[in-house]
Amino acid sequence: MQQTQVFRRVDPAAASTTSVLPQTDPGASSPPPRRRRSGLRRAVTALGVVLALVLGYAAVLLAAGYVGLDRVDAAPTTERPPGAPGHTWLLVGSDSREELTDEQKQELSTGSSDARLTDTILMLTTAPDGVATLISIPRDSLVTIPGYGENRVNAAYAFGGPELLVQTVEQATGVRVDGYVEVGFDGFYRVVEAVGGVEICLDQPMVDERAGIDLPAGCQRLDGADSLGYVRARYSDPNGDFGRVERQREFISALAAEMARPAVLLNPLVAVPLAAAVGDALTVDEESGPVELGRFGLALLRASGEDGQMLTVPFGGYATTDVGSVVLWDAESAEALWSAVRDGTAIPPSALE
C-alpha cells in the first residue's frame, strides 16, 4: 500500500515563522542542509565548462591540421644573420604541378611546366610591440644566389629548394628567417574550397586567358579555381608582377579573415575539414610546432588588420641582365626597411610609400 504523507495545519498568520514540513520519524537522521551556489560560483563553473569545450575543440582543429603537415628542412647550414627581436616567417607559393592530374591542370589552367619556382614570396614579421607586417618580395628581384651568382630570387627554389631560398633571402635582407611555410597550387585550391570561397571586389572586369579567369566587376565570391587564377594573373595586369603581388597580399588577408569567422571556426562541419585541408596544403620547416604555427596564423591576421602593414620591397627600377629582365630594389629605402625588421623598430615612411 502506498504510504500517505500527513501535513500539520498551521495558522496562516504564523506562516512567516512556522515551517510546513512532512511529518517524519523523529528517530530518522535529517538530511544535510543543501548549499546554494552563488551567482559568481555558477558563472565560474559555466565559464570553466565553456573554456574546456573551446580548448578541446581547438585541440581537435590543431590535430586535424597538424597531423597532415609535410615537413622540410629549410634551415641553412651556413652562417646566418642573428635573430631579430620579433619573429619572421617566409611564406612562399610554389608553382609545382607534381600533385595535379592532367585533368586538374586543364581545369585550373596551370599549364604543364616541370619548373619548380616560387612565384609568391612573402615575408611576415612581427615586432616586439606586436605590429605585424607582410612584405612582398617580387619574384623577379635581382639577388645573389649562393653558388649560382646573380639571378631572379624565385630561381633559388628551383636550384636548391627551400633551404637555398631561405639562405638567399637571408643574405639579401640580413633578416633571419625563423619559420618557413609553403603552399602549392593544389593545396591553395583545396583550402579555398574548404572555406566556401573568398569574397573579392573588383573595380573593373578581369580577364586573363593564361590564368583561366573571366571575372565581372563588382563584389563576388571566388571558388578555388577562380581564386587560383586571380592570384596568378599578371599578363592582363597593367602593373605586371607588382599588380599581382598586391592582389596576392589582399587575397591572403581576405582568406585569413574568412577562416577566422565565427561561422567557420564554431561550425565543426566546416572547421574540421578546413583544418584538415590546411594540414594537407602546407609544407613547413622541421622546427615549427603547433604553437609556432598558431603564432603564424595570428600574425597573418594582424598584418591584414587595422594595425597591420602590407607593402612591397621599395622599387628601384628594371634592368636587363644575362638572365633577362629583372626588378631592382631601391637600395636606400630597402635597406631602411630591412634594418627596421632586424632591429624590431617601426618601418620608416620611405619604405611604406
- In a domain, residue 163? The reply is yes
Residue 64: pLDDT band with limits 50, 70, 90: low
- In a domain, residue 9? The reply is no
Per-residue pLDDT, 206: 93
Distance CA 63, CA 90 (A): 23
- In a domain, residue 325? The reply is yes
Q: State the residue for C-alpha cell 614570396.
A: 121
Mean pLDDT, the chain, rounded, equals 81
| Mean pLDDT computed over 144-151 | 96
Distance CA 63, CA 75 (A): 25
Contact 127, 85 (CB under 8 A): yes
| Mean pLDDT computed over 108-113 | 49
Distance CA 205, CA 191 (A): 25
- In a domain, residue 42? The reply is no
Give the total number of structural domains in the chain: 1
Residue 268: pLDDT band with limits 50, 70, 90: confident
- In a domain, residue 39? The reply is no
- In a domain, residue 147? The reply is yes
| Mean pLDDT computed over 321-347 | 95
Q: What pLDDT, in 10s, does the model give residues 126-136?
A: 999 889 999 99
Contact 7, 22 (CB under 8 A): yes
Question: Other CB atoms closer than 10 Å to residue 7's CB: what's the count?
Answer: 9
- Residue 311 in this model has a pLDDT that exceeds 80: yes
Least confident of 21-25, 55-59, 184-188, 314-318: 21-25
- In a domain, residue 210? The reply is yes
- Amino acid residing at 232: R
Range of the domain at 161: 59-352
Q: Nine-digit cell at 114?
A: 616541370
- DSSP secondary structure of 60-85: HHHHHHHTT-EEE----SS--PPPPS
More confident residue, 335 or 36: 335
Q: Give the CATH number for residue 343.
A: 3.40.630.190
Q: Where are the alpha helices (DSSP H) in 39-180?
A: 39-66, 102-108, 155-173
Residue 293: pLDDT band with limits 50, 70, 90: confident
Residue 170: pLDDT band with limits 50, 70, 90: very high
Least confident of 18-27, 101-110, 155-164, 232-241: 18-27
Per-residue pLDDT, 287: 87
DSSP 3-state of 335: helix
Least confident of 19-33, 37-51, 311-325: 19-33
Percent of the chain with pLDDT over 70: 74
Least confident of 24-33, 205-214, 244-253: 24-33
Task: Write the secondary structure of 212-273 as one string of H (helix), E (strand) and C (coil).
Answer: CEEECCEEEEECHHHHHHHHHCCCCCCCHHHHHHHHHHHHHHHHHHHHCCHHHHCCHHHHHH
- In a domain, residue 231? The reply is yes
The pTM (predicted TM-score) of the whole model is 0.77
Among 137, 166, 88, residue whose Cα is nearest residue 311: 137
Residue 60: pLDDT band with limits 50, 70, 90: low
- Residue 11 in this model has a pLDDT that exceeds 80: no
